[in-house]
Each structure stands twice: as structure tokens, then as C-alpha cells.
Structure 1
Amino acid sequence: MNYRSILVHLDESEPARTRLDVALHVAKRHGAHLSALFAPAVPEHDAAYAFILDAEYWSQCHREHETCRRALEHHFFSRLAEMELKGTWRTAAHAQHELLARARFADLIVLGQSNPADVDASLSNRFQARVVLSAGRPVLFVPFVPPVSSPASGGFAHVGDHVMVAWDAGQSATRALHDALPFMRLARQTELVTFTPTHQDGALAHQNEDRIPAADIGLVLARHGLHVQVTELHPPPTVPVGDALLARAAKTGCDLVVMGAYGHARWKELILGGVTQTVLGAMQVPVLMSH
């Protein structure tokens, strides 16, 4: 599979331009058509607020919305022309329904990480989870970057030069690994990381001296002509796998993490915590997730 059709979600948030620039760079590298959907991830309840907020307030909101949309649309088409790419622009009132409908026609979806300080972050997180679980396509999450710290280049000029794949041989991880093959084919370096936690006494949770961790999937990737470095990590019992994964990404300086999303039941991850929730909340580099 190659990425030939990429769908990026945009909204009024200030990091939306960073997200768009990442999508443009990925589209350029893979020779893909880029479709942009401009729509709020969190729906505005105009009818509910109309009783407590006056018409002038809503008129001002709509003017600001249109100003933001026009500026981003202009930037989108200007960058398409500069990079000699093809693309389409679409505006919708609410993102979720429209995005899921159009996801069926995309090879890759680009979304943004929620702003942890946003009062609507929990609603945005639900939107992200719904897309990952229902779209049936890989989702590339772009970390939230405060505008004051985002360089003019867009913050993530290189995505996919150094790829790190989190591997646990599960269904979601398998889907993510194969969905990320287009990135790995173009990468300078790919590392496959497995995690074998240790017990309190220092012994490994499970160990088979006759097996090399991830050897089988490494052989599968070799048949695709890919050279992959396999690393087995042994985090202590006090360090969750999600934290160990983020620490490894920071240590190696990778520019793309690939992982399965919601390998356990989503309600368990939301209530008890999980790798997906940890990474979505604290990612520092783009993350490709599949379910």
C-alpha cells in the first residue's frame, strides 16, 4: 500500500496550521492528493447559548470563524501551488460525521492532539477515539504545539525519517505496522521496540531463551526489503509501558512513533489508563495509530 490520498482535519485552533504543514510535507513525500476538512471537532451549541448570549456576540464569533477559515484556506491553496501538489478543500458544520464519511476514501488521516489546557479537551479526546476506532484507516496524530514555541517551518518538518514501531504482536499493533509500511520504505532508520516488564525481584515477566524478541515480524519486514533494528526493553514494574515508550522515543530522537491503538477494551483504558491514553496525552513527536 502507498499513501495516495491523505485527509487532514483542520479547525480554528492555532496549531491547525502546524497540522496542515505536516500533512503537506507527508503528501509531498508520498506523492499524495491532500484533502482538507475544516470543521469544529467540538460542536457549538448555538441554540442552547442563544438564551444567555446576545446576537452581537454570536455575530462576532461567526465573523472570527470566517476570518480564520479564509486565512487557512488561502494558506492551504498557496502551499499546494508552491509544493506542486493537488488537493481539495471542504467545510462542514461538525467534524465527526463528515470526517468518518470521508475517511473511507483516504489512505491516511491526519488529526491533532488535544490542547491539555482546553476546557473542551475531553470532548476532543472522544472525537479522536471515535475516529481511530471507527475510521478503519491509520491516523497520524500531530502533537499540540503552543504557537509561541512553534517555528515558522511548522514544527515538524521531518516525519518518517526515523521511525520507531511499538510491537506487542497484538492485532492493533499488527495493523499499525502494516499501515506504516509506506513510511518505513522511505525511512533512513526503523527501530522495532518490544517491552518485557520485570517483576519486583528483577526477573522478566516472561522469557523464552529459544526465541529472539520480534524475530518473526522482523523477518516479515525483511521480505519487504526493509532493514529493521529490533530492541527489547525491560521497564521496571513501576514504569508503565506508555511512559517507557515515550522515554524511548525521546532518547532515540525518532520523528515518528507507530503503535496500535486501544489494544485493550477502550472503557478499560479510559477508566484504568493505558498506553494509548498515555501517548495521546503526552506525545512529543507525531504518532501513527491504527486499530
Structure 2
Amino acid sequence: MEYRNILVHLDESDSARTRLDVALRVAKRHGAHLSALFAPVVPEHEAAYAFILDTEYWSQCRHEHEARRRALEHHFFARLADAELKGNWRTANHAQHELLVRARFADLIVLGQGAPENPDVSLANRLQVRVTLSAGRPVLWVPYAGSGSTVGERVMVAWDAGQSATRALYDALPFMRLAERTELVTFTPSRKDRERIPGADIGLVLARHGLEVHVTELHPPPTITVADALLARAAKTGCDLIVMGAYGHARWKELLLGGVTQTVLGSMPVPVLMSH
């Protein structure tokens, strides 16, 4: 697979332009068509407020919203032209439904980590978790604080041979083919597997794809979680992309992330590519 169609979700948050910048760099590097979906993350019942709030106040809110949307749309097409890329813009009133629908037509989805100071951060993160676990497409999460000057030149893959990790690894092949260095990180194997070289099998498979992968086995002490060990390794090696499986489960009507996944997404220093 190659990334030929990339979808980036944009909204009114301060981090939207940072997210767009990352999406543009990835699209340029992979020669992809970039689709922008501008859809505010708001409670589904918020439209009902129009009947309660002062009409003049509500009209002013809509005017400000439209002004921000137009400014971001103008910025999007200006950046596309500068990068000599093709793309399109789509606007939706609510992100909840439209983002999940449009995500299934993309090779890669670019979403943003919710900023802690954003009053709607909990709602935004729940939406993005839903897309990650339900869209069936790889998702590139961008830190709200932004990323460095590169994305995908130094890749770190978290590998446990599970279904989600396998999906993420193969979904990340386009990044790995262009990377300067790819490190596959494993953890202390189970007792029954200790006679095997950790990561050797998948390393051989990737070698057949023409990729050189450096396998590192980590042995964190019991006081250090897997998530913290991954983040520490990312900081030590200076990687600019983490690849890992998105582990999650359903509880009642909510989709919840597993502990490692949730911790990494909450503290990610660089973009994280996840698949489920």
C-alpha cells in the first residue's frame, strides 16, 4: 500500500494549523492527494442552544465561526499551492458522523491530540478514539504542541506480535520505506518464547521488503510501565514517529483505549501512527 489519499481533520482549535502542517509534509513526501475536513467538535445537542440563547449573541457566534473557517480554508489552499499538491476542502456541521464516514475513503487519517486547555478536549479525544478504533484505517495522531521539522525519517515500531501491532506495522510500510532509520522495539519475551530471538521473524519479513530494521529488546524494571519505557526510548533515540497498535475495547456505548495506548497518546512527544 502507498499513501495516495490523506485525510486531515481540521477545526477551530489553536492546533489545527499545526496538524495541517504535518499533513502537508506527509502528503508532499508521499505524493498524496490531501483532503481537509473542517468539522467542529461540538456536543450533538449544542444546536438546540440557539433556541435558548439570545438571538443576537448566537448570530455573532456563527459569524465568528464562519470567519475562522474561511481563514483556515484560505490558508489550506495557499499552502497546497506552495507545496504544489492537489487537494480538496469539505465542511461539515458536526465531526461525529462525517469524520468516520470520510475516514474510510483515506489511506491515512491525520487527527490531533486534544489540548488540555481546550474546554472540549474530552469530547474531541473520544471522537478521535472512535475513529481510531472503528475506521479500519491507519491514524496519524499529531501532538497538540506540534512536531519537529521531520515526520517519518526516524521510525520506532512497538512490536508485540499481536494483531493490532501487526496491522500498524504493515500500515506504516510507506513511512518505513522512506525512513533513514527504523527501530523495532520489543519487550522481555514470555518464558516459553525465550529461546527465540525477539523480533527476528518480523525482521526477516521486513528484510524481504528491502528494509533494514534495527531490533531492540527492552527490559524495563517492574516499576516502569511499558508505555513509559516506550516514551523514554523515543526520547533517547530522537525518533520522529512512533508506530504501534491501538488496543481498545467496548464498555456499554463507549470505546475505550487500553492502558499503554492511552498513556502514549496522552504524553506523546512525536506523532504516533496507530491501527486497530
Question: Shorter-chain TM-score: which interval?
Answer: over 0.9
What SS does structure 2 have at the residue aligned with 1:2? coil
What SS does structure 2 have at the residue aligned with 1:40? coil
- Amino acid corresponding to residue 55 of structure 1 in structure 2: T
The answer to whether 1:19 aligns with 2:19 is: yes
Structure 2, unaligned stretches of length 5 or more? none
Question: Deviation per CA, 1:21-78, whole angstroms, max 9, x where unpaired?
Answer: 1000000000000000000123363444345531222122111111111111111101
Q: Do 1:25 and 1:157's aligned partners in 2 also have CA atoms closer than 8 Å?
A: no
**2:31 equivalent in structure 1:** 31
**1:246 equivalent in structure 2:** 231
2: CA distance between counterparts of 1:161 and 1:260? 20
Q: Which has the higher strand share?
A: 2
The answer to whether 1:288 aligns with 2:273 is: yes
**1:227 equivalent in structure 2:** 212
- Amino acid corresponding to residue 158 of structure 1 in structure 2: T
- Amino acid corresponding to residue 28 of structure 1 in structure 2: K
| 1:133-212 map, 5 Å | 133-145=133-145, 155-196=147-188, 206=191, 208-212=193-197
What SS does structure 2 have at the residue aligned with 1:156? coil
**2:57 equivalent in structure 1:** 57
Residue identity (%):
77
- Runs of 4 or more consecutive aligned structure 1 residues displaced over 6 Å after TM superposition: 268-272
Once superposed, what is the RMSD of the aligned Cα atoms?
2.1
What SS does structure 2 have at the residue aligned with 1:259? strand
- Amino acid corresponding to residue 173 of structure 2 in structure 1: L
TM-score by length of 2: 0.93
- Amino acid corresponding to residue 204 of structure 2 in structure 1: L
**Residues 47 and 7 of structure 1, relative CA distance in 2, 3 Å threshold:** closer
2: CA distance between counterparts of 1:137 and 1:175? 10
Question: Deviation per CA, 1:230-287, whole angstroms, max 9, x where unpaired?
Answer: 000011112111111111111111000000001x535499889611110111111000
Deviation at 1:207, TM superposition (A): 6.3
- Amino acid corresponding to residue 175 of structure 2 in structure 1: F
Question: Deviation per CA, 1:66-110, whole angstroms, max 9, x where unpaired?
Answer: 111111111110111111100000000011211111122110000
**Residues 36 and 235 of structure 1, relative CA distance in 2, 3 Å threshold:** same
**2:117 equivalent in structure 1:** 117
Comparing 130-139 and 43-52, the one that deviates more: 43-52
2: CA distance between counterparts of 1:100 and 1:123? 15
Q: Do 2:41 and 2:120's aligned partners in 1 also have CA atoms closer than 8 Å?
A: no
Q: Do 1:165 and 1:193's aligned partners in 2 also have CA atoms closer than 8 Å?
A: yes
Counting matched residue pairs gives 275
| 1:44-83 map, 5 Å | 45-50=45-50, 52-83=52-83
The answer to whether 1:265 aligns with 2:257 is: no
2: CA distance between counterparts of 1:272 and 1:171? 15
Structure 1, unaligned stretches of length 5 or more? 197-203
2: CA distance between counterparts of 1:135 and 1:271? 15
- Amino acid corresponding to residue 214 of structure 2 in structure 1: Q
Q: Do 1:270 and 1:277's aligned partners in 2 also have CA atoms closer than 8 Å?
A: no
**Residues 239 and 267 of structure 1, relative CA distance in 2, 3 Å threshold:** farther
